[in-house]
Amino acid sequence: MHEIPFVGRMSYCYSKCLCMIFRFLGNPYELRFVECVTTVPFGFVYMPYEKGGFAVNGYNPHEGTERAVKTLRYEGEFKCFQSDHEAFSELRKELRDKPVILGPLDMGFLVYDPYCRSKRGGDHYVVALGIEEDHVIVHDPDGYPCVPIPIRDLSNSWRAEAIGYKKGSYSMWMIKKRIEIPPTETVYRTTLLLGLQNLSGYKSARIGKRQNAYFRF
């Protein structure tokens, strides 16, 4: 199992997962910095329901994750699969060398959370650290470091059937070596320009459903 600093608690799960991976790779970015580089906060709003509660409306976390990895000049790879057999086989292979970001997940099946049933349909990201015969060890940035989850329950969560913005089921991000260190001015300029696109109603291309989706950047 990989040893990796834990970053939690509460919101910004995708950014916290990125922070954990970046720290594992030797680059201890502040959470607020990484969150901005995803550009998800730009245009982020709460939409109240008439009967109480609220929904969050903002830039797609999947594409925000991709933006952060590109802007900070890391080599990254995204994969999703049609079956849990393919997904867990690939996860076992990837975890030999490095931790892996899993998501979006459906929070309603993360059984280590005592309130998971009330969160059904909510999206989430975690970092997988290791896999054993019948469970996976994850850092969940919602306040659960190094926690085991049975493979069956993770499979249900990882399928993400209720998550509308997913590129496919069983999604995983592998972030590898850094290609180069970008100038700080370039990072800020890129982030601000992409953030302005969010605020002006920019919509990026979506990946349609396919047998197995892979892309590199």
Domain boundaries, the chain: 13-216
CA distance 210 to 81: 9
Q: Which residues pair with 127 in a beta bridge?
A: 101, 139
Q: What is the CATH number of domain 13-216?
A: 3.90.70.10
Structure tokens at 158: 């990882």
Q: What is the mean pLDDT of residues 20-25?
A: 96
Render pLDDT for 54-89 as a digit per residue (tens, 0 to 9). Answer: 556 667 889 999 999 999 999 999 999 999 999 999
CA distance 8 to 19: 10
If one counts every other C-beta atom within 10 angstroms of the C-beta of residue 102, the result is 25
Render pLDDT for 121-139 as a digit per residue (tens, 0 to 9). Answer: 989 999 999 999 899 999 9
